[in-house]
Structure 1
């Protein structure tokens, strides 16, 4: 794994012991399902697709300890990449993002049908489970200390679910990565004709304390938006959080995929910067200059890991979240 650039941020969060939850109750390690016995969707929250993202397991631990239970349908809590999480070490916190390869680029048949890595073998075990999920929230965090954002995918239904949750403020509509499909883009989640739906929330910088609060809050608001839990579940916690502000919607105009071994940004971008003029050079990919295609492009999640084939950054434009030509399916799958 290529080392990331710049200094390592301070690790403010502590790694949660997930040992009590590994047995689960589904026959799949790390997967617990609560069944209300009443009709309703199968709602799921997943964490640690990347092993060094600590806010997700903190949020799931909070839900377990507060006796979360669905009032309709099923609710599942899933710890995904167990091998990578077991390797997390505060002395080198970036190193355990994955064990063999990025598990959030594997969710297509070509990689799910083989067992060439620890992540692929784990994904194959989890695949039949995720085939049963109707509504998914996948908890993540980011390399840089930028405001939280929701990755809603390219479809109207993803944006509609993000609006129903109401946080975080920034919602990004994007098609993912050239390197492979994310879990939120798996199968029917990315089918416009299906009511099945998924979101990926980036809760802040990997190890900042606030990321854990964002993960818990977003999980609670997701459970309320989907009708999975009683209206008063987590009410005290939500009351302690700042009131949600109107969301802003960003549509990705240009994902920048690294094509050489010598990609470099022109500035130490961290994400959220708005480049006012089209044609501004923001990076060099070998001998090729990378420029903004339009005025007022926002930089979304510039990476510190500058490997060939990875997404270097996504360039987005502000759009009106209320204007969408494709009506979304309801949230009651």
Structure 2
């Protein structure tokens, strides 16, 4: 879920190996609920509506692999409703392993348009059309897990937005082990920030899972574990459903973002290569320069969250977070 855009870069990205293959999803494109790429199955017994979304960014193909596998398993809920959505179909079907960063989106980031004023407004784009298409389904979801991966080196993590209910959901699923609460991006609202999920005093909750590096088998494996744990947590399936076995995992931990750094200039630069998940022990450590402005850690034991070393002006460069006891 890197904030580096598909076009308009100030310098070429490095070459990234693509160690997984995009699945053939032609059989799933039509959907079964009137929304292309969306599959939904309802039980006769009442229960929550649980949804798993993937390829909100079209080049993050690991999530498509997982949805393809889950759909092939023929999962059906014993209660409630289960939905699986290939989100940015138009970008995904254009994915090219020889240029794997080029299809994050076509016109604009699908994960920055989930604001009612934008969705109801006059703007037009491929991604806005798709968000408006998905919206009737999203408006019925009680629990959402949005599968993503990352361009730059980082430990996996769950992004929970601002609500306690989302943080509790991430901790209950338990994979990835780090759950980060944040305030989103200056560039727009993510799917997990949509008002249905972001309203603190209502039950629906959504989390975003950053499962690891794009195009790696380990990322797909973690996504599968998270989905299996989600469905176990929601008690949606009958005993013996053909899910991947749930593997032991460390106790989850939670962090809260204390500062979101948005690049104000075109010359934002880190002082060295930082890895997401790295902890800077000392407060006031200089980590980056944004033009003439120094970016320093605001407290001891500062967690570096998803640093983007090639960030355009106006995009999130890094989030700085503090672990909670």
Structure 1 length normalisation: TM-score? Answer: 0.92
Aligned partner of 2:3 in structure 1 is none
Which of 260, 281, 286 is the aligned partner of 1:281? 286
User: How big is the shift at 1:104?
Assistant: 0.5
Matched, 1:177 2:185: yes
CA distance in 1, matches of 2:13, 2:113: 28
Which of 35, 40, 57 is the aligned partner of 1:28? 35
SS of 1:152's partner is: strand
Matched, 1:99 2:106: yes
C-alpha RMSD of matched pairs (Å):
1.4
User: How big is the shift at 1:289?
Assistant: 1.1
User: How big is the shift at 1:84?
Assistant: 1.0
Matched, 1:262 2:267: yes
Which of 179, 184, 188 is the aligned partner of 2:196? 188
Matched, 1:58 2:65: yes
Aligned partner of 1:326 in structure 2 is none
Change (3 A) 1:69 1:168: same
> Structure 2 matches for 1:1-333, cutoff 5 A?
1-3=7-9, 7-113=14-120, 114-234=122-242, 237-239=244-246, 241=247, 243-320=248-325
Please tell me whether the aligned partners of residues 266 and 283 of structure 1 are also in contact (alpha carbons under 8 angstroms): yes
- Point out where structure 1 has 5 or more consecutive residues left out of the alignment: 321-333
CA distance in 2, matches of 1:123, 1:172: 25
CA distance in 2, matches of 1:229, 1:93: 35
User: How big is the shift at 1:6?
Assistant: 5.2
Please tell me whether the aligned partners of residues 224 and 230 of structure 1 are also in contact (alpha carbons under 8 angstroms): no
User: How big is the shift at 1:5?
Assistant: 6.1
Of 110-119 and 177-186, more deviation after overlay is shown by 110-119
CA distance in 1, matches of 2:290, 2:176: 32
CA distance in 2, matches of 1:232, 1:271: 37
Change (3 A) 1:274 1:6: farther
CA distance in 2, matches of 1:230, 1:301: 37
SS of 1:309's partner is: coil
User: How big is the shift at 1:102?
Assistant: 0.8
Please tell me whether the aligned partners of residues 6 and 304 of structure 1 are also in contact (alpha carbons under 8 angstroms): no
Aligned partner of 1:330 in structure 2 is none
- Point out where structure 2 has 5 or more consecutive residues left out of the alignment: 1-6
User: How big is the shift at 1:105?
Assistant: 0.7
Please tell me whether the aligned partners of residues 2 and 305 of structure 1 are also in contact (alpha carbons under 8 angstroms): no
Of 226-235 and 151-160, more deviation after overlay is shown by 226-235
CA distance in 2, matches of 1:117, 1:270: 34
Please tell me whether the aligned partners of residues 139 and 200 of structure 1 are also in contact (alpha carbons under 8 angstroms): yes
Of 39-48 and 264-273, more deviation after overlay is shown by 264-273
Structure 2 length normalisation: TM-score? Answer: 0.94
Q: Deviations over 1:197-256 (max 9, x none)?
A: 111101100111101111111111101111111243245x325x4x11111211111110
